[in-house]
Structure 1
């Protein structure tokens, strides 16, 4: 359990308002619906959603982090249930059964602030970074055998790091000389020694840690699968709200909504009826200046909102 580490929910009211402002039904009908918190975290969004539901409403949450699932036990509400699995599984819900779907991407503050989880370069801890600590290999285990080109590709693709090649070479050289890296501070120091220039105010290891975390948890693949699943489970008029924290996530969400927000024509059959759009893009929302002041981790957040069409 991680009760010592607190979490400030980003875009709390804005996200929940987006789900319940659909024009697909009356406020009473929307309150009777089934909603999904695809990334429970520490339950900030879930608790507010529950406060908007009628006795007939339902909330289904997903989270693959055992600590998050344990924390969800504090919610003693028959309208609430949680699944300990990645949100790519949300497509397994009944078709057209969901009135609102929220995805709050990235890592939670308790995950970052708990040294044992290995997400942060600011604290000494095992180099783990797994969202689900019960399965899969940690970053340290992967780096024990990963080839130079693979390490460089991961850092370059998922961290958008221009010094990816140099960092990968330093990791492999360290492994050959003194054994593999096993702690967060070892990795952070190695990157700092390798990367001589960086944006003001940003730790040199930021991009590398982001890259390894995204890779080891297959976060972008998980997001793409979840977005595709949302098209099946959202009912007509159902709302989709996705909060992203870096450009790789936001680009996927933006492109997904754009792709499904326009009629598609088959160039091979120019006179055939187009495939009707499945989504209607609604809004792009960023945290207020007051929220960023109170919670600096919110500064990079972007929420995109769309609505399932009748098609």
Structure 2
């Protein structure tokens, strides 16, 4: 029995219903095929990348350890969101248990923040490689990577933890239909009869503090990199330097752009279809994961050669 804000008593709900694209049900049919293909591409490409880095001794370097971490984060995000979305599209399995919903909420927020933090560490790695090449081996060591991973985990695991707890403590009196394909914090909290101001404030403050600080540091790193590159006088040095961090910058730019578009459409939700933020939220969990190994595999010669050697061994 759960007390509601109006003084009535309601039975506590045991599950939620994910009700996405209700105004355009045909979206589910048309989206299911490209979404499933993107999911298979993301999982397969990241597995190949992880195996290549694991088996190729030449890739046992700090930069590739960070890339492995990014691939693991992408895979967890995909597995947390996309299978459930496809189950809704194909089999109409909209129900998700109370605890599974808040677990999904935590993983999504936590791992997206960890991915942003990983991009920041990778930007610092490229900054040292380009701006202080002689000191790179002494600064970017295996110990540095281990400490960076501990920082990424500790910062985001602890600071994101209040988000699902703030939502779980609310009273849900009968309303259990989430107008989303996933258990987004505010989509769930709006179902409560309680005041959700604290949820809004923590989501806003935490999100902009974590992601905002990461983006500022990434921007500063690439500003210093660009200045250093423009000072290079050796023939081909500029092209080589830009190629070294070009793939990384492309992924960060895409990650930030799609996140910014999602935020802007959410703010202007009265002027855009309610399906647009939902669609962007889903795609944000699969498109970067699919692009990450492809961009690095195509643009990084060492990884490309490592995959080719593994394929030859397989034959």
State the TM bucket, normalised to the shorter chain: under 0.3
| Greater fraction of residues in strand | 1
- Structure number with greater CO (CA < 8 Å, separation at least 6) is 2
| Greater fraction of residues in helix | 2
TM-score calculated relative to the size of structure 2: 0.26
